[in-house]
Chains A and B, each alone.
Chain A
Amino acid sequence: MGNMGIVFRRELIGYFSTPLAYIFIVIFLISNGIFTFDLGGFYLRGQADLLPFFSFHPWLYLFMVPAIAMTLWADERKTGTIELLLTLPIKLSDAVIGKFLAAWGLTGIALMLTFPIWVTVNYLGDPDNGVIFAAYIGSWFMAGGFLAIGSCMSACTKNSVIAFILTVSICFLFVIMGSPILLNAFPEWVPQFFVDAFSAMGFLTHFDSIAKGVLDIRDFLFFAVFISAWLLASGVVIEIRKAH
């Protein structure tokens, strides 16, 4: 096990040694139930798919993921453990990625625990399980995107509440980037390629097609690149800000 794995394990066990992980999972599952069955009209639609379930995920993640991400680095800096961690013989990249993977693992566990919905839809009808599986992976990748932003914001400040607010704001921007409301707001003279590029950065643009079962490797690639870029930014921010 490399240093990244050691950090990953410590962090993941850390989540479960405090109530944080349990509270997160419970709230995540309850919200998912409400969104899917009440607001999403799961039964009324009369279709054997999980579209109502997945389409609420961006909005659910918008508030839930920053709550996990906010402590990633802010707490390390506040308690001074960052000084301990970064003077151990460990690469900064191992620490950044290890911590990110632990938080991502937690969202993965929460997501996996929504399996009764998948079972239900199979009991009621005959859904395309391949699409559902891909949508799960897509949803998890999107959560990773939110988390990577959160990692960087958390590195900016010692105060986790500020980190939370910053993360929610920036995530919100990326969620609505691809939405028609925002795209229609562009005046006529803005070149089309700019509008397209802008919308291509939006989470909804990529996630909606995954949730609907349009499997395009580029959508997954988008999230992978997005995560890498924000983690790289996290490393740079930590390097610059650690003295303060």
Chain B
Amino acid sequence: MIEINRLTKKFDQVVAVEDLTFDVGEGEVLGFLGPNGAGKSTTMKVITGFLSPTSGTVKIDGFDISENPMEAKSLIGYLPEGAPSYGDMTTLEFLNFVAQIRGYRGDEITLRVNHVVAEVALESVAHQTIDTLSKGFKRRVGLAQAIMHDPKVLILDEPTDGLDPNQKHHVRELIKNLAKDKIVVISTHILEEVTAVCSRAIIISEGRIVVDGTPAELESQSRYHHAVSVRLKSDYDLAADLAKFSSAMDVEQDAADKLHFTILASEGKPIFSAVSELAQEMQWPVAEFHVSRGQLEDVFRTVTERAVGD
């Protein structure tokens, strides 16, 4: 369990994180979202004990990161932003080094290193110098290092940043597999990642929490939640029909594709059946017709821009 209580971190006069309070429990995969510079990385650096908080506390399974740093750090696996590692070492040498620092001795080292190498599929580059590896492999070396000691808490700062879609998929699968009995905190600004792997999402902006909920709850805050998306075969005045029929619906026409309309549910209630009945009745020239889920991106922009605007 991670307990963060009234955490504040200032750099000189700049407040990076302000009065942050939240808990993360076992089995949760927390997506930590926010615009660049919102304080995501700073928060992670404080949780992992790299930076000390200006005020407030961070506890990992009851161990305060400032007072019992060794106990707390030994429970955490951390992938810092950009997955730094010692470039002059080979993958195996580097992982051996981490295994030793993590307290493994003798045969255990080989056992653990082989295990993580298999887990993140590093066999092909085991004897290569890390400097010569591709970005995807470097990221996986960073992940291997983080899961070396089968940590209870896994903190990953932008684990898929800069990876190609296949590598992203692979890393996400890996995180899902790891997550079962652990606490995972992932920072990202890729929103699809949240729906893909997270069981909970926190959006921070300007160092404060602006949203905390499941990805589904977040989506439901979107103005596109329950909206119906319609593509027509030919031009037709949908808005006129809708205006006659009900005042509770708004229509947006796509700027690029003039035949694509989005009908918004202005009270957040399902409108699909009402719209589909109307379409049949008035015989709209429909090509495509479906309900859109909420758009996280929309929620993200709304809450972070609102926070900045205040």
Q: Which one of A81-89, A107-115, A153-161, A165-173 is at the B interface? A: A81-89
Q: Contacting A6 at CB < 8 Å: which of B45, B50, B80, B101?
A: B101
- Residues of chain A from 1 to 26 with CB closer than 8 A to chain B in the complex: 1, 3, 6-7, 10, 13-14, 17-18
CB distance from A171 to the nearest CB of B (A): 26
CB distance from A166 to the nearest CB of B (A): 23
CB of A79 within 8 Å of the partner chain = yes
Task: Identify the closest chain B residue to A92 (Cβ).
Answer: B69
Q: Which one of B86-94, B202-210, B298-306 is at the A interface? A: B86-94
Asked whether A83 lies within 8 Å of B45 as measured between CB atoms, the reply is: yes
CB neighbours (8 Å) of A3 from chain B are 101
CB neighbours (8 Å) of B80 from chain A are 80, 83-84, 87
CB distance from B88 to the nearest CB of A (A): 5
CB of A212 within 8 Å of the partner chain = no
Asked whether B82 lies within 8 Å of A242 as measured between CB atoms, the reply is: no
Asked whether A17 lies within 8 Å of B73 as measured between CB atoms, the reply is: no
- For the complex of A and B, the 10 pairs showing the least CB-CB separation, nearest first, are A80-B84, A89-B74, A83-B80, A89-B73, A87-B48, A6-B100, A81-B84, A88-B101, A87-B78, A89-B70
Count the A residues whose beta carbon is within 8 Å of the partner chain — how many? 23
**Given known contacts A3-B101, A90-B101, is B88 in contact with A84 (CB within 8 Å)?**
no
CB distance from B7 to the nearest CB of A (A): 15
Asked whether A88 lies within 8 Å of B84 as measured between CB atoms, the reply is: no
CB of A243 within 8 Å of the partner chain = yes
**Given known contacts A80-B80, A88-B101, A88-B102, is B145 in contact with A14 (CB within 8 Å)?**
no
A90 to B89, CA, bound (A): 20
Count the B residues whose beta carbon is within 8 Å of the partner chain — how many? 29
A84 to B78, CA, bound (A): 8
Asked whether A14 lies within 8 Å of B88 as measured between CB atoms, the reply is: yes
- Residues of chain A from 228 to 244 with CB closer than 8 A to chain B in the complex: 242-244
Asked whether B73 lies within 8 Å of A243 as measured between CB atoms, the reply is: no
CB neighbours (8 Å) of A84 from chain B are 78, 80, 84-85, 145
Asked whether B86 lies within 8 Å of A87 as measured between CB atoms, the reply is: no
CB of B3 within 8 Å of the partner chain = no
CB neighbours (8 Å) of A90 from chain B are 101
CB neighbours (8 Å) of B48 from chain A are 87
CB neighbours (8 Å) of A10 from chain B are 86, 89, 97
Q: Contacting A14 at CB < 8 Å: which of B86, B100, B103?
A: B86
CB neighbours (8 Å) of A7 from chain B are 101
CB distance from A240 to the nearest CB of B (A): 11
Asked whether A17 lies within 8 Å of B98 as measured between CB atoms, the reply is: no
- Residues of chain B from 41 to 57 with CB closer than 8 A to chain A in the complex: 45, 48-51
A244 to B16, CA, bound (A): 13
